[in-house]
Amino acid sequence: MFKDFLSATDLSRPMAEALLTQAQALKAVWQQEGCHASEPLRGQTLALVFEKPSLRTRVAFEAGMTQLGGNGSYLSANDIDMGGRESVPDVARNLSRWVQGIAARVFKHSTVELLAQHATVPVINALSDQEHPCQALADMLTLLERRGSLQGLRLTFLGDGNNVCHSLLLLGATLGVHVTVGCPPDYQPNPEILAQAKERAAQSGSTIQVTDSPSEAAEGADALYTDVWASMGQEHESARRRPIFQPYQLNRDLLALAAPEALIMHCLPAHRGEEITAEMVEHPQAVIFDQAENRLHTQKALLLTLLKQ
């Protein structure tokens, strides 16, 4: 068992598979009944400490806590100036006296690590500059729903070797997914994370590949995945990055190279006409909003696992 969820590496294969199985069960009950009768988290509160704005992460955690009988308490950067008005350790110590869990959406990964170090309640990485493990869980559930099995699937990520890419590499490798990253030479994934992913892939029977050729990356893929070319905090680099990343745009030409009926994926928000064309967002093979929906169910599984220990 694990106390915190800071990285996809916190999950062994059995743990990840158990979370996905639980998420499937929770989703089935919610779709059929519209409620969770037992409300297993009644009386519990999750603090949502967000240095960055959010749609999917915030609503999925708040709605998930509500559906499970608990409560989400949102704290923006204006409410908690971590490292400024109050130190990160002190924030962790205070929150631990009032709530049963902390979900932190931060700029620096070291911030979420410091929170976990000083909190006595579970801490969840709701996004950092290094990883976005909650997103990767929802993505794996989406692939599982559409394909029935994850082992041997070929997932291609196109664009910046960013936090989403990192978590897809790590969790995909853990679950037996072949992950290929197509990105410009100067924007490859973190070498340490890449090495960790390769170690996990060797154990699960999958492969990890990085290439600067978008066509090579897309060839035969079961799913094509992309994200914005400039993440939050990098907006000033958008104009410079645009021509560098243009060849990696998820469009009909790259889709034509993928396997028949290849899935089209994006973690949102999408900049139509940049990293993905509007045609691909609305394509019949797109599962983009399924990914968004599945944030709710995988995060509920995560909350039940961590808060009911």
- Percent of the chain at pLDDT > 90 equals 90
**Of residues 178, 79, 190, the one with CA closest to residue 130:** 190
Per-residue pLDDT reduced to its tens digit, 132-141: 999 999 999 9
Q: Do domains 8-132+295-307 and 133-291 have the same CATH topology?
A: yes
Q: Give the separation between CA 142 and CA 295, rounded to whole angstroms.
A: 10
Please determine, looking at this structure, whether the domain spanning 133-291 carries the CATH number 3.40.50.1370: yes
Domain locations along the chain: 8-132+295-307, 133-291
> Which residues are catalytic, by number?
105, 132, 135, 227, 267, 295
Output the pLDDT for position 80. Answer: 86
Secondary structure of 262-295 in HEC code, one letter for each residue: CEEEECCCCCECCCECHHHHCCCCECHHHHHHHH
Mean pLDDT of the chain: 96
pLDDT band at 173 (very low <50, low <70, confident <90, very high): very high
Per-residue pLDDT reduced to its tens digit, 177-192: 999 999 999 999 999 9
The CATH code for residues 8-132+295-307 is 3.40.50.1370
- pTM across the whole model: 0.97
